[in-house]
């Protein structure tokens, strides 16, 4: 479906081929990249890693490996963005490289599982921390629903309004993480004996690389540790959803992807370094709230309250980014005639897909109020990483055909994945190993996730049939 409003006056900043307003610069795009990655997980997940591997070297090594994979993903998505700066990001790449049915299935599970389930879980996390910091006595589901509703309304006011809010929240998130790192570093400097190597067996215990010989058991432990790490690093891909709303997307979006992911890697490694050296591997593994434990050790109860505010802001920022980006996928599906026609409607003033934004907001609110978000969130793993790997393979197709979305030859100046095809193959393999691991570890939940995926196949053929019927009627 082509939007009838495209013939109207071009708004400031210009419009894209889909009628969306290109109003975002490289700073906005970088904040979107970082905002899609940094949620509340970095304040919590370090303890999960420490429960799997038990030495500082292995704990920090897991975050280094995860960062390297995330950077590889950023370079892959940078090349895809430069090759095809189209609305919908992954949806557009899968459609052009393979088949509209594959792209539709991605959008299907994005709406029903990946995005809305994740948003519901984070919204309830935000609500719980918010209620701890305020005297309100209401249900966390109500706060989560109100938060999702307010953020949805703000994003309906235009991409500029949504991006401004997202950028402000991302800056506050960076400030919260910086405060954690600064306070932790100051504490370590004051208690310098923590840096001094103990003598005898204690020194061997603290500074040895691994707590067990090299073996398959150690390999599986590191694999288990990488699961929460990879989750924490995920999210860079959502910036590509808004490619057509970024000025000079072939140049600015690839730069934002790489800069944003490198920035997150530095933030994450700093947080984990502080957690490991203040709490120790055993102490880190023994607390479910490592960031709060660090701040409590440094500043007492006031420190714990301060980081709770930071976690609340971080969760809110993630929600803002999710509401800003993902509806562009549903909009692209409607543009292709594979979803409700109304979802492809653009507000004539603000040039944003209001119906698509509202649809996602309502779906996330229903999940948050249902209390089933935890179960749905467990389905996300296999679906998200399945399509991560599949999308990365699009590079092989585009390089072989040498074509962009418009059918023109690629320009030599486009961003390129370093070390391709080896590095791309490693990334794809890592993604699908996560899927295989999830199948074996959570067979029931993974089966439900795949069931939702396969349920989209007849839905695709229904929409495709209706599209052909409408075309024939004309």
- What digits encode the pLDDT tens for the residues 88-127? 889 999 999 999 999 999 999 999 888 888 888 888 888 8
* Nearest C-alpha neighbor of 21 from the set 5, 45, 37: 5
Proportion of the chain above pLDDT 70, given as a percent = 86
pLDDT value of residue 411: 47
- Can you tell me the distance from the alpha carbon of 332 to that of 88, in angstroms, rounded to the nearest whole number? 6
For 183-218, what is each residue's pLDDT tens digit? 988 887 776 544 444 444 444 445 556 566 666 777
Residue 326: beta bridge partners?
none
Task: Say if residue 473's pLDDT is above 70.
Answer: no
CATH superfamily, domain at 18-406+442-473: Amino acid/polyamine transporter I (1.20.1740.10)
Supply the Cα-derived Rg of the chain in whole angstroms.
Answer: 23
pLDDT value of residue 124: 86
Task: Say if residue 407's pLDDT is above 80.
Answer: no
- Cβ partners under 8 Å of residue 246, min gap 6: 22, 24, 25, 28, 29, 85, 252, 253, 256
Alpha carbon separation from 316 to 36, 125, 133, 319 (Å, rounded): 11, 9, 14, 5
Under the banding of pLDDT at 50, 70 and 90, the label for residue 361 is: very high
pLDDT value of residue 199: 46
Residues 85-117 as b/e (b if ≥16 CB within 10 A, e otherwise) read: bbbbbbbbbbbbbeebbbbbbbbbbbbbbbbbb
- For the chain, what are the domain ranges? 18-406+442-473
- Residue 261 contacts residue 35 (beta carbons within 8 Å): no
Q: What share of the chain is helix, strand, coil (3-state, %, to 5)?
A: 75, 0, 20
Residue 409: beta bridge partners?
403
- Cβ partners under 8 Å of residue 254, min gap 6: 78, 79, 81, 82, 415
Burial (CB < 10 A; 0-12, 13-18, 19+), residue 320, is buried
pLDDT value of residue 375: 65
- Residue 269 contacts residue 70 (beta carbons within 8 Å): no
For 294-321, what is each residue's pLDDT tens digit? 999 888 888 888 888 998 998 898 999 8
Structure tokens at 138: 């209401």
For 121-140, what is each residue's pLDDT tens digit? 888 888 888 888 888 889 88
Residue with tokens 């730069």: 255
- Can you tell me the distance from the alpha carbon of 121 to that of 66, in angstroms, rounded to the nearest whole number? 23
pLDDT value of residue 22: 79
For 261-294, what is each residue's pLDDT tens digit? 999 999 999 999 999 989 999 999 998 889 989 9
Residue 24: beta bridge partners?
246
- Characterise 412 by phi-psi region: left (phi > 0), alpha (psi -120 to 50), beta (else): alpha
* Nearest C-alpha neighbor of 112 from the set 443, 386, 454, 385: 454
Indicate the SS3 state at residue 409: strand
pLDDT value of residue 406: 47
DSSP-derived secondary structure for 237-298: GGGGGGGGGBSSHHHHHHHHHHHHHHHHHHHHHHHHHHHHHHHHHHHHHT-S-HHHHHHHHH
DSSP class of 113: I
pLDDT value of residue 350: 81
- Can you tell me the distance from the alpha carbon of 442 to that of 419, in angstroms, rounded to the nearest whole number? 34
Average pLDDT over residues 360-376: 81
Proportion of the chain above pLDDT 90, given as a percent = 41
For 415-454, what is each residue's pLDDT tens digit? 788 899 999 999 999 899 888 877 877 788 788 889 999 9
Average pLDDT of the chain is 84
- Can you tell me the distance from the alpha carbon of 64 to that of 178, in angstroms, rounded to the nearest whole number? 19
- Can you tell me the distance from the alpha carbon of 64 to that of 70, in angstroms, rounded to the nearest whole number? 10
- Can you tell me the distance from the alpha carbon of 19 to that of 16, in angstroms, rounded to the nearest whole number? 5
Task: Say if residue 379's pLDDT is above 80.
Answer: no
pLDDT value of residue 117: 83
pLDDT value of residue 214: 66
- Can you tell me the distance from the alpha carbon of 162 to that of 171, in angstroms, rounded to the nearest whole number? 14
């Amino acid at each position: 479906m082509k939007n009838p409003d495209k013939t109207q006056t071009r708004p400031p900043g210009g419009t894209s081929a889909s009628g969306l307003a290109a109003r975002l610069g490289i700073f906005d795009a970088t904040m979107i990249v970082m905002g899609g990655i940094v949620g509340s997980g970095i304040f919590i997940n370090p303890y999960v890693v420490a429960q799997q591997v038990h030495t500082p070297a292995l704990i920090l090594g897991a975050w280094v490996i995860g960062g390297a994979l995330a950077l590889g993903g950023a370079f892959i998505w940078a090349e895809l963005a430069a090759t095809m700066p189209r609305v919908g990001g992954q949806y557009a790449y899968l459609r052009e490289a393979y088949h509209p049915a594959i792209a539709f299935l991605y959008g299907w599970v994005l709406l029903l599982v990946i995005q809305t389930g994740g948003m519901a879980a984070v919204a309830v996390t935000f609500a719980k921390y918010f209620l701890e910091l305020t005297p309100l006595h209401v249900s966390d589901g109500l706060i989560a629903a109100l938060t999702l509703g307010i953020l949805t309304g703000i994003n309906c006011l235009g991409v500029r309004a949504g991006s401004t809010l997202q950028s402000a929240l991302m800056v506050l998130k960076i400030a919260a993480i910086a405060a954690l790192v600064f306070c932790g570093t100051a504490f370590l400097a004051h208690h310098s004996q923590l840096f001094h190597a103990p003598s005898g067996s204690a020194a061997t215990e603290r500074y040895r690389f691994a707590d067990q010989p090299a073996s398959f058991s150690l390999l599986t432990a590191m694999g288990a540790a990488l699961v929460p790490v990879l989750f924490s690093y995920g999210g860079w891909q959502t910036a590509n959803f808004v490619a057509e709303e970024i000025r000079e997307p072939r140049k600015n979006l690839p730069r934002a992807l790489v800069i944003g992911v490198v920035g997150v890697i530095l933030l994450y490694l700093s947080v984990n370094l502080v957690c490991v050296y203040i709490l120790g591997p055993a102490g880190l593994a023994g607390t479910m709230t490592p960031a709060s434990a660090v701040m409590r050790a440094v500043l007492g109860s006031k420190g714990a309250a301060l980081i709770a505010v930071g976690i609340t802001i971080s969760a809110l920022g993630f929600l803002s980014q999710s509401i800003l980006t993902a509806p562009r996928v549903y909009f692209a599906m409607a543009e292709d005639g594979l979803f409700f026609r109304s979802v492809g409607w653009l507000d004539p003033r603000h040039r944003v897909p209001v119906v698509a934004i509202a649809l996602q907001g309502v779906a996330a609110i229903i999940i948050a109020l249902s209390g089933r978000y935890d179960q749905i969130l467990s389905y996300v793993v296999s679906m998200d990483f399945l399509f991560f790997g599949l999308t990365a393979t699009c590079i092989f197709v585009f390089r072989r055909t040498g074509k962009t979305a418009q059918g023109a030859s690629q320009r030599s100046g486009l961003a390129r994945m370093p070390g391709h095809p080896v590095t791309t193959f490693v990334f794809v393999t890592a993604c699908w190993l996560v899927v295989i691991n999830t199948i074996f570890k959570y067979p029931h939940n993974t089966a439900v996730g795949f069931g939702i995926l396969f349920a989209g196949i007849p839905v695709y053929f229904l929409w495709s049939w209706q599209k052909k019927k409408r075309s024939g009627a004309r």
